[in-house]
Amino acid sequence: MRLTRFASFAVVLATLTIPAFADGDCTGLPTAATLKSLLQAAPGTGGDAGGLFHGTKMWAAVVNRDGFICAAATGTSDPTQVWPGSQAIAKSKAYTANAFSLDSLALSTAMLYTFTQPGHSLWSLGGGNPFDPKSLSAPGSQSGNSGIAGGMIFFGGGVPIYNAAGKIIGGLGISGDTSCTDHEIAKRVRAAANLNPPGGALVDDISYSSVDGANVFTHPLCLNTFRNGTFIGTEKPATGY
């Protein structure tokens, strides 16, 4: 009898101290169906997106301002033909772009690259908020668990999203190709959804030292790198091993 009472008390205590996730407010953000449609259209607009697949095999995710996952989708008719590992990356990029942007400052994940490298001021930042794998779904279902997945990614493919009044309302993450191509597709999807920041579609664009000169926002080249439809270059072969 005493054990039964203790078990019952433990259940009640758990319900009082560990609240379940409430549904997030996704007003004004793309639905999964809209996200899929935008993804499918993006490679055919704005010229070549470069990379391995030219932006045709992508995961996309959208979070609201609280970091709550509101939608996720793949751009392919068969979702298993996008890298399964890209699902977590897309969700983490969406979270990261939202987490470090403001109404007055749009920071894409591409712009955070240099800051987070060894020897720079934000090295180890990603260790403070790991991705929650409970937010993953089987690629065939694409439903997943909502809530706040967290995760930090500091290379191209994540952009903050804004409403018509210029207020930040969340983040968009794209993954499934090179990080440079991910960024190109993210820009196109955001623009097509009319969710650009106040400074315009290119205010948080990716920067390459080989073209723009070295700066704190520099991102390395990828394989077959294009920016806004123009070929930029390609990543150099590895040396020394």
Tell me the CATH number at 141: 3.30.450.150
Whether 64 maps to a domain, the answer reads yes
pLDDT, residue 241, reads 66
Looking at the chain, the whole-number percentage of residues with pLDDT higher than 70 is: 87
pLDDT at 7 over 50: no
Give the lowest-confidence range in 18-27, 147-156, 220-229. Answer: 18-27
Residues 116, 69, 30: CA angle, nearest 5 degrees: 110
Greater confidence (183 vs 118) lies with 183
Instruction: Please name the residue ranges forming H helices in 62-172.
Output: 85-99
Whether 13 maps to a domain, the answer reads no
Which neighbouring-strand residues pair with 207?
218
Cα–Cα nearest to 67, from 183, 171, 175: 171
Which residues, including other chains, have CB under 8 Å from residue 234's CB and lie 6 or more apart? 221, 222, 223, 224, 225
**What average pLDDT does the segment 217-237 reach?**
95
Whether 52 maps to a domain, the answer reads yes
Sign of CA dihedral 208, 209, 211, 217: positive
**What average pLDDT does the segment 134-159 reach?**
82
pLDDT at 143 over 70: no
Into how many domains does the chain fold? Answer: 1
Whether 8 maps to a domain, the answer reads no
Range of the domain at 106: 29-233
Whether 96 maps to a domain, the answer reads yes
Place of tokens 């920041």: 197
Whether 165 maps to a domain, the answer reads yes
**What average pLDDT does the segment 138-162 reach?**
83
**What average pLDDT does the segment 30-40 reach?**
96
**What average pLDDT does the segment 149-173 reach?**
96
Whether 22 maps to a domain, the answer reads no
Give the lowest-confidence range in 120-134, 158-172, 227-241. Answer: 120-134
Whether 11 maps to a domain, the answer reads no
